[in-house]
Chain A
Amino acid sequence: MISNEEVRVLIQGVETADSSDKLLSAVKALAAVRHEAAIPTLIDVLRYNNPGAAVAAVDGLIDIGEPTVTPILEQLDGYNYGARAWATRALAGIGDPRALDLLLEAARGDFALSVRRAAARGLGNIIWSKMPINEVKSQQLQTLETLLQVAQDPEWVVRYAAVVGLQNLGMSATSFNPDLLHHIIEQLRDKIMDDPDIAVRARVNMALQILNAQP
């Protein structure tokens, strides 16, 4: 395990980087150690308006996982739009249920299609076992309804992501809620199969193939 002192040096590297390239390598180095002490700095990088560094920071936050969720949610309100979008992507990758409301909202209504796309995919990654058992069923239903709505988005790539989200929701829900799986299969077959875009229809086919093979 890397020492706190070593993490401190890597953090300093991010804070003192004086070029885009240096910042990118410093963020990558800091992300690579997967250390909780790196979390505040990685979150801070999301504000820098440097897409390369933000991608590396998002990947780093996703790798660290659950411990990053509370700090991200706590700081979210103070963010500019760009940083919020990157934070939403990180939360989508982690799948912690505490971010569910935020992802539902982002998937339905964010103005950037890349955020709707990431959020829709993230809704399929929710780790339901981390949610109080008495809430799971109603929250899954709400997630399903949102994804079905997102599957009508004007942008093909958002609809594609909704199909991916539905597939993964179906797979993660089976042990809690087998009815949900059947419902998802039905909806994919009857409604979303008519999508105007052949790439989306192909993805629906793939999802059905995978979901129908579920026990």
Chain B
Amino acid sequence: MSNFQENSQVDSSAGNISADGGSLTVEEAIANLKQREDPSLRYYAAWWLGRFRVNEPAAIEGLLEALQDETDRAPDGGYPLRRNAAKALGKLGERRVVPALIECLKCPDYYVRESAAQALEMLGDNRAISALIPLLDGGVQAAQKVPGKPHLTQPYEAILEALGTLGAVEAASIIEPFLDHFTEKVQYAAARAMYQLTNNSIYGERLVQALEGNDLQLRRSALMDLGAIGYLGAAEAIAETLAENSLKIISLKGLLEHHLENSSLEEGLSQESLRIMKLMDQLL
């Protein structure tokens, strides 16, 4: 979800404006990440390297170092640079950073833990599973708001989504109770994970119901979840829900890609593929 929001700008009026390429070169970005004089340059460089997927040894090294940073501190005591570095490492596809990201799951900064969980999901390395499960200790009862903060005790959405994507079947019984968490977004994350772990359409339908809700943000969230899990039964509901066409198209693309993973284009198109593409055509 949050990965999506960062990567594509939402089509609010006339449409997406593609992200500005920025004026950095790869060499400059790496140099900015390594220097210590200007924290804001370093912070921006970490983001930039992830955004443009600069998978070079020097970039990886610099980002790993940034995960240990003590200098750049937010007013709330958080670690802005670590957050950006963890996000960037998620995008570079380099699995040797997994242990370092697992370490970040213990960071006192909630947003570092969240970025690390999202990055571990993106890297798809199941060594992360046994490190993610303990963050659910105490179950739904422990998943409360932190007084004075806009977030819960743990980044539950990111954790549940990662466990689902990583195929943590052993965690299903721990995840299931989160379907009844008091926030919808956590419920959806649990439904999404449960669908990925069981393929049971009950959980897909739970997200389809969310498309009929009154809150636009939650409908957007459900669109991205359905796209991520590729629940085919949702196609028509996705095309009908009240949200931007751009988001519906991305969601349907998720269904299509997921469906095509298990078939070969050379064998011809299935009825399901044709159905999804006809829906996409109408949204262009």
Contact = CB atoms under 8 A, between A and B. Distances in A.
Per DSSP, are chain A's interface residues mostly helix, strand or loop, or mixed?
helix
A115 B269 contact: no
B262 to A, nearest CB: 12
Interface in A4-20: none
Nearest to B216: A52
A206 B275 CA distance: 11
Contacts of A113: 15-18
Nearest to A122: B284
Given A81-B14, A199-B253, A202-B256, A114 B246 contact: yes
B25 to A, nearest CB: 19
B244 A205 contact: no
A104 interface: no
Contact of A114 (B16, B280, B281): B16
Interface stretch (A134-142, A153-161, A176-184): A153-161
Interface string A43-83: 00000010100100000000000000000000000000110
A114 B245 contact: yes
Q: How large is the interface on A (under 10, 10 to 19, 20 to 34, 35 or more residues)?
A: 20 to 34
Q: How large is the interface on B (under 10, 10 to 19, 20 to 34, 35 or more residues)?
A: 20 to 34
A65 to B, nearest CB: 18
Nearest to A49: B13
Contacts of A202: 256, 260, 265, 269, 273, 277
Contacts of B265: 198, 201-202, 205
Contacts of A151: none
B268 to A, nearest CB: 8
Nearest to B18: A113
B215 to A, nearest CB: 14
Contacts of B280: 160, 203
A111 B11 contact: no
Nearest to B260: A198
A73 to B, nearest CB: 18
B253 to A, nearest CB: 5
B249 interface: yes
Contacts of B17: 111-113
5 contacts: A51-B12, A84-B14, A156-B253, A198-B265, A199-B253
CB-based closest 10 A-B pairs: A114-B15, A85-B14, A112-B15, A121-B284, A82-B13, A161-B284, A113-B16, A199-B253, A82-B14, A199-B256
Given A198-B260, A206-B277, 20 more contacts: A49-B13, A51-B13, A82-B13, A111-B17, A111-B18, A112-B17, A113-B17, A114-B11, A114-B14, A117-B15, A117-B284, A120-B284, A121-B281, A157-B249, A161-B284, A202-B260, A202-B265, A202-B277, A205-B269, A206-B274
